Amino acid sequence: MTHLRKMMLEELQRRNYAETTIESYIRAVEDFSRHFNCSPDRLGPRHIREYQAELFQKRKFSPNTVAQHLAALRFFYVKTLKKAWSITETPYPKKAIHLPTILSHEEVARLIDAARPALHRTLLMALYATGLRRAELARLKVSDVDSQRMVIHVQGGKGRKDRDVLLSPTLLDELRRHWRRLRRKPSVWLFPGKSSHASDQPITPKVIYHACKRAARRAGLPDGVHPHTLRHCFATHLLEAGADLRTIQMLLGHSDLEETTIYLHLSQRHLNATASPLDSLKLKDESPQGQ
């Protein structure tokens, strides 16, 4: 599949897809090929339908994950191989909409305090303080931290968009401690890779993922806690503190305000401020006796 992989990679890069999307798309096509032990250019709609059933029935993937795999296959066939793709023959599954897990302030503090080593604590503090995605955090540069304006510049976030996010004084102090801990001061990346933290490449998003999962286990928090949970907590806690949705939208880098309105469903302040219509009814003090 080397030649086909190269072709697909070039098509993805030519369209300026994000690195995380490129990796997931190529992995999905490679997995599809391995499932049938056959080059994917020799497979067709019947194989795609069988593969989709496999993802649902045997691997128990969620509808959203299956849809991502199908998107990768559609890109491969339409953009790389220039073949037709029939939505009728290979329909996308309906997406499942789940409200994300939200931790209380106390639970977030427990999570951060449970992080080991010190770098992991810094990473979790940064996630919660800024609302960054883990891929955005991993690729922060030293020059992105603007202590004069108290902002962090996010370059090439999701959708290749730049934005500024909050730099809290507490996080700034932590980042300075992180800097002092580094034996070799980096010239580019704020969080250099490798165990020595002296690599010319940044840490990978996987490092942040495992840092969060391990801290969650130590803190006795649910299995569903992951780096994106802290992004959800950032937005929900800001909303509960009185920030408006438009500001939160800009900080999160959402292209559509509708994406941000999910936090209205998660905000305890907004839920408590809304009265049930039952409370406005004038009912008798007691229910009638019997059935």
Catalytic residue among 74, 158, 163, 270: 158
263 is catalytic: yes
Catalytic residue among 69, 133, 232, 237: 133
Nearest CA to 63 out of 52, 72, 48 is that of 52
- Between the CA of residue 136 and those of 48, 117, 218, what are the distances in Å? 33, 21, 25
CA distance 248 to 238: 8
254 is catalytic: yes
158 is catalytic: yes
Catalytic residue among 121, 231, 232, 237: 231
133 is catalytic: yes
Catalytic residue among 74, 153, 228, 270: 228
Residue with tokens 């840092």: 211
CA distance 277 to 279: 5
Give catalytic residues, as residue numbers. Answer: 133, 158, 228, 231, 254, 263
